[in-house]
Amino acid sequence: MEKNQQELYEYARKRVKQKKRVYFHFILFFVSSVFFYIINKILDVDPQDDWYLWAITAWAFIFILHFIKVFVTESFINKTWEREQIEMLIARQERRIEQLEKKLQNENILPKQ
């Protein structure tokens, strides 16, 4: 397998793994939410307080952050974006170096090449 295909395969494998973890997180969240409700209301563990709502809300917030990271952020800040940013920064650095070299040549500090 050539390098480009290997890179595409690794990226695809990483994305599938991320999505798999989000789905697992959702299932775990859903099942745990049901158990929190059962423990609080049916098993009468501190039934006067609805503590299960706080636990479910906190976990839902964490799940939403995980979902956004995988399906929103990673969809546009990926390998292609990273590569473009690196190339842009390298080009900017090369232009700056050329400007400095020209400035030094104009001041006769650096010998002309």
Helices 3-37 and 51-68, interaxial angle, to 10°?
Answer: 170
pLDDT of residue 86: 92
Q: What pLDDT does residue 111 have?
A: 59
- Does the pLDDT at position 91 exceed 70? yes
Give, for 101, the enclosing helix (H) or strand (E).
Answer: helix 79-106
User: By the 8 A CB rule, do 102 and 54 touch?
Assistant: no
Domain boundaries, the chain: 3-75, 78-113
pTM above 0.85, yes or no: no
